[in-house]
Amino acid sequence: MEQQKLLELLGEMSLDEKIGQLFQGNGSFYEGDSIATGPASEQGFSEQTIREAGSVLSVVGAGNVKQIQKAHMEKHPHHIPLVFMADIINGYRTVFPIPLAQGAAFNPQVAKTGAQVAAKEASAAGVQVTFSPMVDLVRDARWGRVMESTGEDVYLNSVYAGALVEGYQGDDPKKPGKIGACVKHFAAYGAPTAGRDYNNVELSERTLRDDYLPAYEAALRAGALLVMTSFNTLNRIPSSANKWLMRQVLREEMGFKGTVISDWAAIEEIMYHGAAMDRKEAARLALEAGTDIDMMTTCYANYLKELIEEGKVDEKLLDEAVLRVLELKNKLGLFENPFKDADEEAEKELLLCADHREKAKEAAKETFVLLENNGILPLKKEEKVAFIGPYTEEKAIIGAWSIFAREEDAVSIEEGVTAYGGNAIFEKGCELISEGASIQGMNRLYTGTGMAENREKKLLKAVKAAKEADKVVLCIGEHMAQTGEAASRGDITIPENQITLLEKIAEVNQNIVVMLFSGRPLDLRKVKTLAKAILVVWMPGTEGGSAIAEVLYGETPPSGKLPMSFPYAVGQVPVFYSEFHTGRRMDPAHPENRFQSRYMDIPNEPLYPFGYGLSYTEFSYSVVTLSKTELIRGGELKASVLLKNVGKSRGSEVVQMYIRDDVGSVARPVRELKGFQKLWLNAGEEKEVSFTITEDMLKFHDINMNNIAEAGKFTVFIGSDSRTQNQAEFVLK
Ligand code: GLC
């Protein structure tokens, strides 16, 4: 529809109709089913609010969507279609690894492919917008939603943010098989005080701009149609009511002209934050801040009319917001085709089709991170291997946000290894959820299935299996429901019953590979003392078991690197590589010196650093060579290494380039990732790997908050992880 027609439509709409466009309910307001993905909000929704709503969330299924859309448009005074939105975070029915795992692949194509598959399946099921990508920078393993992010690094998150939006939207979200992307949660939701979800975020403007905003900007540059406001207060102002953040930063500086949607009940929560007297004031603050859609509360529906009639809110603000919602529908082609791609036949063909399963398996294989290996891996098919642990048969491996997928479709380790033809036996050894306990997941309750009286017998059976095996693969970790939204944890150690299992097995067989399932970094100190190999598989998705088999048996070597530091202990958190020197740098040669920046009881260094990961072969790096040692403004220089596979098998290496601004008008991080390249080399093969360094890469917000590159000396590091000391220096004039 032409823009002029949209304006005419807006002009014809009543005040009630316009306000209706800003309301988003879930399927519980319509026939058909829905999945409530947030706290139950007050149910004061009027019949008119529902009849004139502008969008709906968590309603899926081609038939369902078409039926609701048809009925809605018939009843609507101007027959304006709904927008159907849903949380498709790492897959719709065919589930890819969780985003944190995808970040570990250090290969944005993995994320782009996953988003493309998700868009094809979800759009056939009637979804028109996904509440993804979540690009919140995360540096606190206590926070459950780190699983939804691609990690602790500004550059890595930005690269992935763009790839995900391109995967969902393609070059035109109106096209078949594409869906609108909603980048979230704006802003800085990933830095809640104390790692506790929904908590206040205290950030300096410089840290916000240098570290937390770039990934959202990257998603907007890629064309994301929507932005979702975050639950948190940023420096004590709720995001949905934060005019500076939403109008100054998002719209003025970043130039975002699309639609802003609140997170679930976030407008009403302005009141609960204590930043509004009541829902009416919350509605005023949110609309003034530029929050267009009110997800799942009555603030806009019940109070905007009053506020406008009382002259407390300018109707122009309402018209702006409504026009952005109409423009969203127009960008999706809904005025011409309100059902978009909803198609029952396509649904049957696409969901879980072989091609999508294959893509999910290939993606999963790239996400696994090998943290230790004394040569015990890869396994040989003829070896007798005892797969032991609560994850051997577990199918809850698709990630907390895979709310439209079915765990039963997942390939467990037992199924994957058996299908692969491994000479394997399987014993659970202990429960993932203690007997009689339960964990409330995002949309279902998980209850322990074991019987306490069987605990000892189960353990003994596992120890016996270990004794009779050449090697043991211990499959352990946190439960999927212990990650995701509202899953903050103060204890990130491996559950005691799993450590006991490990210790008992180690008494009879030391050839132990620990395979870790998690949605966050965990404290692996105890595991490290007894494991000969550690493979982090995160939550690997629908094809987890088959991907694991192919990596364990060496068909595909592991190629992942950590997208988030694994702390030595939770006491270090938030811990991340791009930290600051401090005025009393820790002297590793003299850790005993008191007056330096250190802990008295634990090291400063994480157990495993950002960017770290092994493969089944070894690589050597030459020294860093520079095309020149002086970078002219507007110019560029090249930094290169010669990478060689000096091992005996083909493998992958993620060559990482970090840059340190040695002196700035403000303190600068010890180093920052500015480039990475993932290569596969055969044994003996070598390749020159070059990075182009530009002035843009060196920019930061200086003492005056100008985003510039300051003249001076820089150190460039190129190596295998964020600890590399392989370096060279250049100056910027
Ligand atoms: C949730 C989440 C958000 C999600 C929304 C809709 O509370 O914070 O990420 O998109 O509600 O389900």
Query: Which two structure tokens, joined as six digits, stand for 661?
Result: 């601004």
Which overall architecture, per CATH, does domain 619-732 show?
Answer: Sandwich (2.60)
| pLDDT value for 211 | 98
37 C-beta closer than 6 A to ligand 1:
yes
- CA–CA distances in Å: residue 171 to residues 110, 203, 351, 401, 660: 18, 35, 23, 26, 36
Q: Which helix (H) or strand (E) holds 640?
A: strand 636-645
Which amino acid is it at 409?
Answer: D
Residue 259's closest CA among 187, 188, 183, 193?
183
Percent of the chain with pLDDT over 70: 98
Predicted confidence (pLDDT) per residue in 547-572, tens digit: 999 999 999 999 999 999 999 999 99
Query: Which two structure tokens, joined as six digits, stand for 722?
Result: 């964020």
Can you give the pTM of this predicted structure? 0.97
Nearest CA to ligand 1 atom 8: 263
| pLDDT value for 35 | 63
What average pLDDT does this structure show over 66-74?
95
| pLDDT value for 48 | 85
Predicted confidence (pLDDT) per residue in 304-337, tens digit: 999 999 999 999 999 999 999 999 999 999 999 9
- CA–CA distances in Å: residue 235 to residues 278, 523, 580: 21, 30, 22
Which overall architecture, per CATH, does domain 354-571 show?
Answer: 3-Layer(aba) Sandwich (3.40)
Ligand 1 mutation pick, 34, 89, 264, 485, max ligand atoms within 8 A of CB: 264
| CA of 350 relative to ligand 1 center, distance in Å | 26
What average pLDDT does this structure show over 216-237?
98
| pLDDT value for 31 | 61
Residue 493 to residue 476: CA distance in whole angstroms: 12
| CA of 106 relative to ligand 1 center, distance in Å | 26
Residue 389 to residue 370: CA distance in whole angstroms: 19
Q: What residue spans define the domains of the chain?
A: 16-346, 354-571, 619-732
Min mean pLDDT across 53-57, 277-281, 435-439, 463-467 is at 435-439
Query: Which two structure tokens, joined as six digits, stand for 264?
Result: 């679930």
Residue 39 alpha carbon, nearest atom of ligand 1: 7
Predicted confidence (pLDDT) per residue in 128-186, tens digit: 999 999 999 999 999 999 999 999 999 999 999 999 999 999 999 999 999 999 999 99
Q: Enter the CATH code of domain 16-346.
A: 3.20.20.300
What average pLDDT does this structure show over 35-45?
58
Cα angle: 20, vertex 23, 24; to 5 degrees: 135
Q: C-alpha 349: how far from its chain's center?
A: 28
Predicted confidence (pLDDT) per residue in 577-623, tens digit: 999 999 999 998 998 899 999 999 999 999 999 999 999 999 999 99
What's the residue count for the chain?
733
Question: Which residues are part of the catalytic machinery?
Answer: 263
To the nearest whole number, what is the mean pLDDT of the chain? 96
